[in-house]
Amino acid sequence: MYTDEPPDGMTELDLHPLGLGTWQNTDPEECAESVQTALELGYRHIDTAQAYGNEDAVGRGIAESSVPREEVFLATKVDTANLSYDDVHETTQQSLERLRTDYIDLLYVHWPTETYDAPETLQAFQELYDEGVIRHIGVSNFEPRHLDEAREILDAPIFANQVELHPYLQQEELRAYAEDHDHHVVAYSPLARTSVLDDEVLRDIAEKHDASIPRVTLAWILDIGVAPIPKATSGEHIRDNWGAYDVDLDDEDHERIADLDRGHREVDFAGAPWDN
């Protein structure tokens, strides 16, 4: 479980608890500026993906910030169309060029779908890890059976599983699996794509703590040992999300939020990993 305070320093093994998500942040100037703003404020975990079409802007934001590259935990994901052995190698090199870096801290398999073939895909990831091109291997949207298979194939440990997680989808099974097998859970769409903003329970808790609903929601996610990566573009939202560290939820708050779980997904489609 993460502590309430972000770490003072980082090593290559650290995953900064609260990160900046960049999904749909496709305006190059706005994206680069948001990354730079977040880093100057104190964020150190930046998340992107080949599919987002903004790796170049993310790389520019990092390069133009005052934060040294070695203090940034940079994660990206290999697109589902690029998961064949050769394509993993080729497109990861392209990601490196766009991100203006010679290594990636955490490289994810974005989804175990389309061109994903566990032995072939993961062999390529293992080789990139062995070569030092990537510091950690991650997976995204994996269910326990996919994680079991990946652990059998890989020599390197799985570092993180990135999944949709918020008060309405609390992912207890995957959190328990992560604890049992010693890897992180990273939460995308931690604000349920703004759905939490209309929640009366969360509004009541927020008023109790004189905080915003996003701060309360992110504080809860941090408290349960998960690393949220909320998407934010404006400086106001980036700063407000960072204020989650100032929210001290009590047991009653946690009980009320736990009762909100209803297994609701914002991201779902025919053939999704949880349906097969």
pLDDT tens string 215-244: 999 999 999 999 999 999 999 999 999 999
Q: What confidence score (pLDDT) does residue 10 get?
A: 35
Say what percent of the chain tops pLDDT 70. Answer: 95
- Contact at 8 Å (CB) between 91 and 78? yes
Is 43 an active-site residue? no
- Report CA 237 to chain centroid distance, whole Å: 17
* Position 21 pLDDT exceeds 70: yes
- Contact at 8 Å (CB) between 164 and 190? no
* Position 12 pLDDT exceeds 90: no
Q: What confidence score (pLDDT) does residue 15 get?
A: 76
* Position 149 pLDDT exceeds 80: yes
- Report CA 54 to chain centroid distance, whole Å: 16
Q: Which one is catalytic: 52, 108, 129, 177?
A: 52
* Position 151 pLDDT exceeds 70: yes
* Position 50 pLDDT exceeds 60: yes
Q: What integer best gives the mean pLDDT of the chain?
A: 94
* Position 68 pLDDT exceeds 70: yes
* Position 14 pLDDT exceeds 90: no
